[in-house]
A and B are shown apart, each in its own frame.
Chain A
Amino acid sequence: MSAVLEVRDLKKSFGGISAVGGVSFEVHAGEILGIIGPNGSGKSTLFNCILGQLQPSSGEVRIDGKPITGMRPCDLNRLGVSRTFQLLQVFPQLSVRENLILAGQEHQGSMGSRLLGRRDAGLTPAANRMIDFFRLASVADEKAGRLSYGQQKLLDAAMAFMAGPRLVLLDEPAGGVNPTMLADLRERLRTINAREKATFVVIEHNMEFVMSLCTRILVLAEGRLIAQGAPEAVRRDPRVIEAYFGN
């Protein structure tokens, strides 16, 4: 399988303090890669460097072999890379449907057609499908700000899939979501992964969630890659246990 995402020796330091110290890995088409690690192990920084929110100090990031290091987030997204954020990031004053249409519109047509063309950029059907898929039909016309936390979390994820991305980076999708909805979310992700052939990278604290969702797992500690492999292998790996529970 070819690598959708390649990270080579990525380093990022804030004023001398190294947050990510030379991380390299590959993500293959169709896999669900989990990245775990204790707090401050550099997961989010790694994410933000890959996604152009932060400038890496050194190293390289490639999508389909094409270097994208330091590319603007919006251009990256147009290449089919989308993400969710650790903290909720929906548009509270827009309705659920509007949120979804927004998530897709910049992938449709030109600036001109987005001004003069159809108001929904032809995305209403797609948005409705997404709404049904994530069971948000009851609140489709509510302002996103008025949704429950869990619902907003779903919307957040749904937006990430709206443009039919090839690679989705999910930053703690399970954070603060109740168990039933969690199972639900896991199912949705699996389905999309299977159906759309979308590739996922998931940062997560919730071990159970990661183990049950991911096909392969990387373990980060103090900005370095200390282990990787299948969920079961990682679970048993002493270095991982040490990293988490110290000694």
Chain B
Amino acid sequence: MTDLVQLLVAGLATGAIYALVAVGFTLLWQTSQTINFAQGEFVMVPAFFVLAAMKFGGASFPVALLLGLIASLLVLGVLFKKLLVDPMIRHGVLPLVISTIALALFLKEGVKEFYAADAQPFPALWATTNITVVGAVIALQNLVIIGVAIAAIAALQWFLAATRTGRSMQATAQNPLLARILGIRVERMILYTFLINAGLVALASVLISPIYLAKFSNGETLGLVAFIAAIVGGFNQVRGAIAGGLLLGVLDNLVAAYVSTQYRGAIPLFLLIAVILFRPQGLLGRAEERSV
């Protein structure tokens, strides 16, 4: 029982991170048909922005966090869109997939060559104390992660649904042409989604780095699981991504604990294949009309 609670909380914490990353991933897909194979690296990089600001810029941690966020928005948001996505989007999906794959390699190697090849400790945002619930020891960090992630996504949901800009963004996602006719500044809306994605990954980065440590290769698995979460949950649904993320996080822990550690990596993949074959729109997703 206590074990179960233990596993659930840990799983939810990890899952919350997957969710954050997956949400950004789906946003990009919806508004600009960008499948970002570098999404995992996007989570890895901001932590190093922060570390670099402290190491080279001699900034204090809070300042460094701010600088890191700004850098993320600029590099992973604006530059990513302007330099990589915009020139390529007209060629269709595949070239963009290819260059995000290359981008992932680029970011990894860049961090390895110019910062460090080994894992770096990352300052915690809050006291690393534990609390005990029905015998299970739960790190405050985990609860904060879950809380912040859910809050962030809820805020995003609200923004998309309730604000003018948010609705314009959704319109852009559903039918750019019509949106343009309706006088929505589509280009700007798309840019917003890229900024939001950058913000989400930066948030994920500072949330996990204190626990998972900052390392150039951290993105590899994270990005992959985030994709899977997005697809399993429902590619065209923000809440789908959340569900997918949490589900995978919990599942991973339960499988490792009660089934097999050697094949823990396989379970999300089976889930992915099953979902794609039997419910391509995802567990919570809407089916998209596909006809001639």
Contact = CB atoms under 8 A, between A and B. Distances in A.
A–B contact, 8 Å CB criterion (strictly below): yes
Interface of A: 14, 48, 53-54, 85
B292 interface: yes
A177 B291 CA distance: 26
8 contacts: A14-B289, A48-B291, A48-B292, A53-B291, A53-B292, A54-B291, A54-B292, A85-B292
Nearest to A47: B292
Given A14-B289, A54-B292, 6 more contacts: A48-B291, A48-B292, A53-B291, A53-B292, A54-B291, A85-B292
Nearest to B289: A14
Nearest to B292: A53
A85 B291 CA distance: 14
Interface in B265-292: 289, 291-292
Contacts of A14: 289
A196 to B, nearest CB: 27
Contacts of A48: 291-292
A220 B90 CA distance: 39
Across the A-B interface, give the 8 residue pairs with the lowest CB-CB distance, nearest first: A53-B292, A48-B292, A54-B291, A53-B291, A54-B292, A48-B291, A85-B292, A14-B289
Contacts of B292: 48, 53-54, 85
Interface of B: 289, 291-292
Contacts of B291: 48, 53-54
Contacts of A54: 291-292
A14 B290 CA distance: 12
A48 B289 CA distance: 15
B286 to A, nearest CB: 12
A58 B289 CA distance: 20
Contacts of B289: 14
Nearest to A89: B292
A48 B292 CA distance: 9
A23 B289 CA distance: 24
A118 to B, nearest CB: 33
Contacts of A53: 291-292
A201 to B, nearest CB: 17
A85 B292 CA distance: 10
B153 to A, nearest CB: 30
A14 B291 CA distance: 11
Contacts of A85: 292
B292 to A, nearest CB: 5
A8 B292 CA distance: 23
A54 B292 CA distance: 8
B78 to A, nearest CB: 35
A14 B289 CA distance: 10
B93 to A, nearest CB: 18
A48 B291 CA distance: 10
A85 B289 CA distance: 19
B10 to A, nearest CB: 43
A50 to B, nearest CB: 13
A24 to B, nearest CB: 23
A54 B289 CA distance: 12
A17 to B, nearest CB: 12
A243 B292 CA distance: 27
A85 to B, nearest CB: 8
A47 B291 CA distance: 13
Nearest to A15: B289
B126 to A, nearest CB: 50
A88 to B, nearest CB: 13
A51 to B, nearest CB: 10
Nearest to A87: B292
A161 B291 CA distance: 25
Nearest to A86: B292
A54 B290 CA distance: 10
Nearest to A85: B292
B260 to A, nearest CB: 42
A53 B291 CA distance: 8
A14 B292 CA distance: 14
A179 B67 CA distance: 65
A119 to B, nearest CB: 28
